[in-house]
Structure 1
Amino acid sequence: MKGQEWYQADDVAREYDSKRFSKGGRLIDHREKQAVLSALGPVEGKNVLEIACGTGRFTVMLAERGADVVGLDISAAMMAQGRQKARSAGVGDRIEFIRGDAARLPFPDDHFDAVMAMRFFHLADTPAKFLAEMRRVSKKQVFFDTFNSFSTRVVYNWLLPMGSHLYSRADVERLLAGAGLQLADESHDFILPYGLYRKIPNGIAGELRELDETIRDNEYGEKLSSVSYWNAEVL
């Protein structure tokens, strides 16, 4: 996995949310949460695993809606932020945070109703292995996102401290087939790169987002989208 030392640093964990999801980054946070909820549907009573849960943005959100959630991550510092967030939201009893390796998940086959990973596959050195593990422990559903190879992501990819793996649609289709998964639904978004939104005030970002959505909705928009959300079913 790329940038493990950077990702696990205490100072990175403390500042992670504020740097990425403040200012115009709030729009990114909102859209990603929409994508997760749309894909998973009603989660009350479901048993959900989140791979690379980080600071618990999605873990806590799902627990607040009645899911029993396991959040797995390699960074103890990130999960410490997640535990604090869960306590503040009053859902600490619905979440178990586990430090572990996504390539060797410590769960039996078909254990969870749904398994998800956000902001993970762009860092994965062995994506096929990770996806196969996600499928193994899921009864029904696997959901994840990718950054796309034919997009504005290419422009600033080299600036990222951890690097970033970009995927074509064909790449994703091969991964799904190899893992024994069938694509059920997909959506594509963000013509403009994430980094641009994070640098500007939320009000200006909102106007930029309207432009982004207008471009995305034309006939070429989907192909230019920098982010894709993939909702797959277990075969």
Structure 2
Amino acid sequence: MKGQEWYQATDVAQEYDDKRFSRGGRLIDRREKEAVLDAIGPVDGKDVLEIACGTGRFTAMLAERGADVVGLDISAEMLAEARQKAKASGVGDAVEFLRGDAGRLPFEDDEFDAVIAMRFFHLADTPAAYLDELQRVSRDQVMFDTFKRYSTRSIYNWALPMGSRLYSRSEVESLIDGAGLELVEDSHDFVLPYGFYRKIPDSIASTLRSIDTTLGVGPGGDAIASVSYWSASVE
């Protein structure tokens, strides 16, 4: 898995949310949470596993909506931030956080109603093996995102600390089929890559987002998007 050491650095964990989801990055955070909720629907009473939960953005959100959530991450530093976030949100006792490897999940087959993995597969060195594990522990649904090949994401990909794996649609469909999953729904967004939003104030970011959304809903919008959200069911 790319970036394990980088993500486990204490300063990275402590500054992760501020650098990515403040300023214009709030628009990214909002859209990603919307994508998760749209994909898995009402979560009250569901058993949900979040892979690579990081600082717990989605874990806390799902617990607030009544889900029984387990968040797993390789980084003890990220998990420490996630526990603080869950406690501050009033769901500290409703979420279990575990340190572990997504390639060898410490769970029984079919243990969860849904498994989500956001900001994960762009770092995966063996995506098929990881998706097999997600499918194994889910009895109903798997939801994840990818960064898109032949998009604006590739323009600045070289500048990232560990780069990103980019996927074509056919590659993702092949991975889903190979894992014994059935694609239920997919959506695509952000013609402008994430990096544009993280560096600018809210007011400018909102204007850019309006332009971005207009381009995205037009003819060929999906083809020029840089991010894809995938929802699949267990066959």
Name the TM tier (shorter chain): over 0.9
Match of 2:206 in 1: 206
**Aligned-partner Cα distance in 2 for 1:142–1:202:** 32
Match of 1:29 in 2: 29
Q: Extract structure 1 runs of 4+ deviating beyond 6 A.
A: none
Match of 1:170 in 2: 170
C-alpha distance after superposition, 1:145-197 (max 9, x if no partner): 00000200000000000210000000001100110000001110000010001
Deviation at 1:218, TM superposition (A): 1.3
Residues matched between the structures, number: 235
3-state SS of the aligned residue for 1:121? coil
Deviation at 1:200, TM superposition (A): 0.6
Give the unaligned 5+ runs of structure 1: none
**Aligned-partner Cα distance in 1 for 2:50–2:33:** 13
**Aligned-partner Cα distance in 1 for 2:9–2:68:** 28
- Normalising by structure 2, report the TM-score: 0.99
3-state SS of the aligned residue for 1:15? helix
Deviation at 1:92, TM superposition (A): 1.1
Letter in 1 for 2:87: R
Deviation at 1:217, TM superposition (A): 1.1
Match of 2:65 in 1: 65
**Aligned-partner Cα distance in 2 for 1:215–1:175:** 28
Deviation at 1:212, TM superposition (A): 0.2
Letter in 1 for 2:211: L
3-state SS of the aligned residue for 2:115? strand
Match of 1:82 in 2: 82
- Normalising by structure 1, report the TM-score: 0.99
C-alpha distance after superposition, 1:42-80 (max 9, x if no partner): 000000000000000000000000001000000000000
Match of 1:134 in 2: 134
**Aligned-partner Cα distance in 1 for 2:3–2:130:** 17
Letter in 2 for 1:208: L
Give the unaligned 5+ runs of structure 2: none
**Aligned-partner Cα distance in 1 for 2:156–2:194:** 10
For residues 13-28 of structure 1, what are the structure 2 equivalents within 5 Å? 13-28=13-28
**Identical residues among aligned pairs (%):** 70
Please tell me the root mean square deviation across aligned C-alpha atoms, in Å.
Answer: 0.5
The yes-or-no answer on 1:152 pairing with 2:114 is no
